[in-house]
Amino acid sequence: MSSSLATTMVERPTFLDLTELDHPNLQSSEQNAAGLSDLVANIPGAIYRRAGDSQWTTRFITPAIQDICGYPASDFIKNRERSLISIIHPDDKPIIEQALEKQLTHQQPYWLEYRIVRSDGSVVWICDKGQGIFDETGQLLWLDGIILDISQRQPESHVNHTMQPSETIQESDALYHLMVETASEGVWMFDVNSQTVFANSRMAEMLGYHVEEMIGRSLFDFMDAESRPLYSTYILRRRHGIHERHPFKFRRKDGSELWAIVSATPILNAQGEFVGVLRMITDISDTHEESAQRQQAENALRESERRFRAIFDATFQFIGLLKPDGTVLEANQTALNFGGLRREDVAGRPFWQTKWWSHSSEIKNQLKHAIAAAAMGEFVRYEVEVVGANNQVITIDFSLKPVTDETGQVVLLIPEGRDISEQKQIREALRQSEGRLKLKNKKLKQVLRQLKNAQAQLVQNEKMISLGQMMAGIAHEINNPISFIYGNVTYAHDYTLELFNLIDIYGKHYPEPVPEIHDQIERMDLNFLKADFPNLLNSMQDGAERIREIILSLRNFSRLDEAEQKLVNIHEGIDSTLLILQHRLKKTVFPKEIQIIKDYSQLPRIQCYPSQLNQVFMNLLNNAIDALEQKEKHYPHLDCHKRITIQTSVITPDNQGLSTPDEDILSPENKAEIRGKTVDDTDQNAASVIIRIADNGIGIPKTLQKNILDPFFTTKPVGVGTGLGLSIAHAIIVEKHGGKLSYQSEPGQGTEFIIELPIHPPLN
């Protein structure tokens, strides 16, 4: 070290920069401070740092101050009990304050000798030397200095604040060298050309050199080329007397990086000229990567928080954060605005005790149960009403979503709510509209059904009227000649007998007729003619009687003159219908003719529309014949006895159980006979008449049975059925006569229809 620089160091002493103690990136600032305290404890002086405020507040001072002034160091920290200014002798204080202010104004080190008053009241002389630490703008940050007890030396004047060195200061310089060499930080000193003039052992160790290798080398030899322009600006600021702290990357001897905190202080001579720089270096290489990662993580966290808060508060939905026990951690601005609340109004409170749920204890309890379920890991969702500012009540789609940690433990609950009041109103309106629409559709279906039934009824009625008119016309046209024939057959029979008697008398008196008469008798076979001709007349009479019966059946079936209800014999209507259907029942249609089994009870005459009931019988019997035809077609190998069973009975109030539709309809030989007691037209106990028409035909598929009474629905092949017969029959029995029409069918075995007619139906 040059003598000039050494002298300068004594004349303008530069102290260890203690600011590293405050830097957050140091691995262990407390350890560094402790090590430094052990070191300076052996120095016969008190090292201090004072803030640059108006009171020169003491931030740090070593315990040696107690040996100098009698007061413990703790009294001075933050000026708790007293300040360093307060112990200056009253006569010296104005001069010292003025001298200190002058030196700091010129950013010059200060060296002051003055008196202080000790705690015991005695007066001692001290030497106070130090310098101000300034930022880039020239703003004073703090004062670093040392106080020495010089009471053993007689001062040349009352107060000395000159810059003359003393032997006491020179003696303490050795202590400074000891402190520098044992410091945990690197101490690196450069001349005006940035050449190394001093480096302590710690500095050389940081860079991987020996101290001798570093002396005389340029500062730029220890950094990368791309860093040199930046550091040139730092050096320029040192030349202007600016003290500075900054992070920097040096390059070690082995090529590795050394990240450090650099505290650089310019060194000035007695004339105030720049002569070098003292740099204090703190190694932060081990923490640099962690610091960078932490900084990056902190930046990412802040950005994530910013984005979260932006989304959290900007969403139109209500959203919050809860502890698993339901304590509110956060609520977004949308929810707060709705409730007219601030965050402090809800944070830390149980969720169910906030204003949103204050209108109903039932809703509060529901929320408690929901939170308990969510705390167990269950996702909860339901619709609920909440209350806001001005007691506004809305309906929300509310949910609670549990958030778990890596162990599966629920650590957070996220409540969300979406205002669905308008949707609920719309949904309710739609539901009501849908209900009204369904009702209208139902009514329309009923009307359509009625229209179809009416149409079918009109069509069928028109057909029946036409058929009835035709039958009546035929019956009328046939009735006259048949009556003529039937009435003259008796006369013909009588005339024939008289003629045969005459022939017999003639033979008696003329046993030997002339040859011509004899030949004629032989040709005529007179004996056969006499025996057969009466039979011929009897056959003609039987045929005429049969035709008269058919005409009567046609008239009974058509009943065109009977628009009102009247008392009729049901059996006559059934028999008339069977007579008309004889052409379908004969064996010309099937290999074997259909057997008609009549099981008639003695029935009273019933009040009804005869022609309409005949129409029902016609439809049911036609369907039975069609079913037998279909079975014959699809199951020709079955040699079964085709039959139609017609059974009638009476139900009275005391034997309602006589109608047993669940009995086996396919085996009449096993069916118990249903018999009603004999009644007459005036029997008030008779309630209803039952007519069963059963066949053992093909039956109706199970899937189609529910539709067979619908208009235009048919199970028959295309072109065979219209789908109107059963619908019309149902309308006639139920609507016209107040009765019942039911059925049962077993596919492949047969079908039975049960008609129940009141003997005295209600007035239509």
Q: Which CATH number covers residue 179?
A: 3.30.450.20
Are residues 632 and 675 both part of a single domain? yes
Q: Which helix (H) or strand (E) holds 331?
A: strand 328-331
pLDDT score for 638? 66
Residues 634 and 604 in one domain: yes
And the tokens for 278?
Answer: 């003292």
Are 375 and 472 found together in one domain?
no
Whether residue 291 is contained in a domain is answered as: no
- Do 34 and 149 fall within a single domain? yes
The full DSSP string for 428-465 is: HHHHHHHHHHHHHHHHHHHHHHHHHHHHHHHHHHHHHH
- Alpha-carbon torsion (233, 235, 239, 240), positive or negative: positive
Q: Distance between CA 719 and CA 268 in Å, rounded? A: 126
Please report the pLDDT score of residue 435 as a whole number.
85
Whether the CB-CB separation of 129 and 112 falls below 8 Å is answered with yes
Distance from CA of residue 468 to its chain's centroid? Answer: 68
**Quick check: is 289 in a domain?**
no
Are 592 and 452 part of one and the same domain?
Answer: no
**Which tens digits make up the pLDDT trace of 202-259?**
999 999 999 999 999 999 999 988 888 888 878 878 887 788 888 899 999 999 999 9
pLDDT digits (tens, 9 = 90+) for 596-644: 999 999 999 998 888 888 889 988 998 898 888 888 887 776 656 888 9
**Cα separation, 19 vs 13, whole angstroms:** 17
Question: Residue 416's pLDDT band (boundaries 50, 70, 90)?
Answer: very high
Exposure string over 684-715, b if 16+ CB within 10 A, otherwise e: eebbbbbbbbbbbbbbbeeeebeebeebeebb
Residue 646 lies in a domain: yes
Do 69 and 204 sit in the same domain of this protein? yes
Domain C-terminal end among 267, 282, 301: 267
Rounded distance between C-alpha atoms, residue 456 and residue 723, angstroms: 9
Tell me: do 159 and 117 sit in the same domain.
yes
Model pLDDT, residue 467: 61
* Phi, psi angle pair for 321, to nearest 5°: -130, 135
Q: Within a domain: residue 549? A: no
pLDDT at 353: 93
Taking the CA atoms of residue 264, residue 269, residue 272 and residue 275 in that order, the dihedral angle to the nearest 10 degrees is -50
Inter-residue contact 642 to 750 (CB < 8 Å): no
If asked whether residues 323 and 369 sit together in one domain, one would say yes
How far does the chain reach from its first CA to its final CA, in angstroms?
137
- Check whether residue 519 and residue 654 sit in a common domain: no
CA distance 94 to 579: 150
pLDDT in tens, 469-518: 666 666 666 767 777 777 787 888 888 888 888 888 888 888 888 888 88
Residue 126 maps to a domain? yes
Both 499 and 518 in one domain: the answer is yes
The string over 49-64, giving b where at least 16 C-beta atoms fall within 10 Å of a residue's C-beta and e elsewhere, is bbbeeeebbbbbbbeb
Range of the structural domain that residue 71 is part of:
3-267
Cα 453 from Cα 711, distance rounded (Å): 6
| Average pLDDT score over residue span 339-358 | 92
User: With 50 as the cut, is the pLDDT of residue 158 above it?
Assistant: no
Cβ atoms of residues 708 and 721 within 8 Å: no
Tell me the residue length of the chain.
Answer: 764
- Residue 274 belongs to a domain: no
Of residues 107, 143, 106, the one with CA closest to residue 128: 143
For the ranges 396-405, 540-549, 726-735, the lowest mean pLDDT is seen at 540-549
Q: What is the pLDDT of residues 220-236, one digit of tens each?
A: 999 988 888 888 878 87
Name the token pair of 80. 């708790």
Q: DSSP letters along 23-86, please?
A: -TTSS-HHHHHHHHHHHHTTSSEEEEEEESSTT--EEEE-TTHHHHHSS-GGGTBTTSS--TGG
Query: Domain boundary at 389, 419, 449, which?
Result: 419
Q: How many domains does the chain contain in total? A: 4
Regarding whether 193 and 78 lie in a shared domain, the answer is yes
Dihedral over Cα of 34, 35, 41, 44: its sign? negative
Domain termination site, one of 379, 396, 419? 419
- The mean pLDDT of 375-388, rounded to a whole number, is 94
Pairwise pLDDT comparison (432 vs 762), residue with the higher score: 432
572 occurs within a structural domain? yes
Give the whole-angstrom CA distance, residue 282 versus residue 22: 12
- Structural domain includes residue 14: yes
Q: 486 and 548 in contact (C-beta within 8 Å)?
A: yes
How far apart are the C-alpha atoms of 418 and 740, rounded to whole Å? 56
The DSSP-derived string for 680-740 is -TT-TT--EEEEEEEE-SS---GGGGGGTTSTT---SPTTT--S-HHHHHHIIIIIITS-E
Whole-model pTM? Answer: 0.36
Could you tell me if 486 and 408 lie in one domain? Answer: no
Report helix, strand or coil for 314.
helix
For the four alpha carbons of 67, 72, 78 and 81, in that order, the dihedral sign comes to negative
Rounded to 10 deg, the angle between the 421-509 and 610-634 helix axes is 90
The model's pLDDT over 90-119, given as tens digits with 9 standing for 90+, comes to 988 888 888 888 888 888 888 888 999 999
Report the pLDDT averaged over residues 274-293: 78
CA distance 462 to 438: 34
Please tell me the distance from the alpha carbon of residue 294 to that of residue 617, in angstroms, as a whole number: 98
